[in-house]
Amino acid sequence: MISSVDIKVASIDDVDVVYNIDKECGSDSYSKEIISLSIKNDINFIAYIDNCAVGYISCSRVLDEAEVLKIVVLKEYRRKGIASLLMKNVINKLVEVDVGVLFLEVRSDNVPAKMLYEKIGFEKIYERQKYYSDGVDAYIYRLSLL
């Protein structure tokens, strides 16, 4: 864990910043239009090290439920606790506004993401067989915030 990570709420001026980090996700990356809509409507945090944006998280909320839409950390900054810190900030925010449960969906072959979620305490509650276009299953995870 590195101590000098700053977590900031993303503003509409950060569309390009988020877009550039998101390109790390390759074919799953979002367009600038989707990022712009998400910044306006959802909870988005950006992680900075020395004023350099190194990761972000996006989370949508409907009433007392929320869903992590995306979490990405630049390759050279991974395994330093940045995704965990982003998730902690989202969870704190959701608890503050009385959200009771957090869901997310992940490809079954995404080992780093599954390990991250399980370390945080998410439980796998459902499998969607051959959900993705390449035949990979989707796993649905749930974390109670109560």
Q: Catalytic residues, which ones?
A: 105, 117
Q: Count residues contacting ligand COA (CB under 6 A)?
A: 21
Cβ(120)–Cβ(89) below 8 Å: no
4-12, 108-116, 126-134, 137-145 -> range binding ligand COA (CB under 6 A): 108-116
Phi and psi torsions of 43, nearest 5°: -100, 120
Subset of residues 41 to 100 that bind ligand COA, contact rule: CB under 6 A = 70-73, 78-84
Instruction: Choose between 36 and 84: whose C-beta lies nearer to ligand COA.
Output: 84
What are the structure tokens assigned to 59, written together?
Answer: 């989370």
**CB of 75 vs ligand COA, minimal distance in Å:** 8
Cβ(74)–Cβ(21) below 8 Å: yes
> Residue 54: is it exposed, middle or buried by C-beta count within 10 angstroms (0-12/13-18/19+)?
buried
**CB of 46 vs ligand COA, minimal distance in Å:** 13
Cβ(20)–Cβ(49) below 8 Å: no
Query: Would you tell me which residues interact with ligand COA (CB under 6 A)?
Result: 24-25, 70-73, 78-84, 106, 110-113, 115-116, 119
